[in-house]
Structure 1
Amino acid sequence: MADPTPTPDTAAHPRFADALRELGLAVEVRRFPDATRTAAEAAAAIGCELSQIVKSLVFEADGQPVVVLMDGASRVDVELVRHELAAGSVRRANAALVRETTGYAIGGVPPFGHRTRTRVLADRRLLDHETVWAAAGNPHTVFPLAPKTLIAHADGTLVDVRERSA
């Protein structure tokens, strides 16, 4: 297991560190020597439940980017996202659109502090936890926050877009 020693917020991506300062948020950013690019890698490094990891996923809805915040143990039901947005089509964004929209690479996208203001949907299941963990702008860093606070700073709309198992 990686060393979960807290580090100052300088471990966060500079854009995200700026966003934290602008929001007046003092969070504990943890840096890991090994990448925590996937939810499973992040949960193992932190020592938390997979569902406590927040995945910040970018989709394209009728040509417009939208960020979906989903717990690490679940998958997004694209049809539910399409319905929620009243969109004709929704698909996963490619790496170029993710970077263009958020300013971050896949695997390190935080829930807020993006390059452009983008609509954010937050799956209601995130509220099942007292604390959740999200990327701090790169694949080596994460930070904890209460889910309601995280969703509020992301200006997220609470929705049910989790894929249901058959």
Structure 2
Amino acid sequence: MSTDLSKSAEKVQSALNKFGFELNVVELSESTRTAQEAADTIGCQVSQIAKSLIFKCKNSQKPLLIIASGTNRVNEKIIKQYIGEKLEKADADFVLENTGFVIGGIPPIGHKNSITTLIDEDLMQYEEIWAAAGTPHAVFKLTPKILTEITQGNIVSIK
């Protein structure tokens, strides 16, 4: 664990500090790029990993952030019912352009642009969850309630 944060992780820590909660980014020597890697590195269940997935809305071309439990796959047909349009896969350039972060370390907050956010209801069952913090080696711990508050996300079923 490092006390000096990389530039991207520091950007996330600065965004977290604005909310008034005691949320601390930690950078780890092991990868947290995937939900499984993160769970193995942290020592928690894969389902406690809050993975931030960016999609592109087909008609509006706007980004959509879905924060999913690490074991869940997004059912795009269900999401279409919530947002009223189909989803497309967002490529790395679209993700970077809209979030300011690279795939594999996308945090739930601190994005370059405002992004509509949906939160997987399965995350609500845990006392603590872990989210990426700007790099494939940085994470932070929080509660589902705090996640909902800081992202202003809507809690939905994603599967």
Q: TM-score, normalised by structure 1?
A: 0.88
**Alignment RMSD, CA only?**
1.5
Is structure 2 residue 153 aligned with structure 1 residue 161? Answer: no
Q: For 2:95, which of 98, 106, 121 is the aligned residue? A: 98
Question: Which of 82, 85, 92 does residue 83 from structure 2 map onto?
Answer: 85
Partner residue of 1:51? 47
Q: Is 2:137 the counterpart of 1:140?
A: yes
Cross-structure match for 2:23: 27
Secondary structure at 1:143 match in 2: strand
Identity %: 37
| CA deviation profile, 1:91-116 (whole Å, cap 9, x unmatched) | 12111111111110001000111111
Aligned partner of 2:71 in structure 1 is 73
- Runs of 4+ displaced beyond 3 Å: 7-12
Q: Which residue of 2 aligns with 1:114?
A: 111
CA distance in structure 2 between the partners assigned to 1:100 and 1:15 by the alignment: 16
- Residues of 2 paired with 1:57 and 1:37: CA distance? 12
Distance 1:85 1:109 in 2: 22
Q: TM-score, normalised by structure 2?
A: 0.92
Task: Please state how far the C-alpha of 1:161 moved relative to its aligned partner.
Answer: 1.1
Q: Which runs of 5+ in 2 are unaligned?
A: none
Q: How many residues are matched?
A: 156
Does 1:128 find its partner at 2:125? Answer: yes
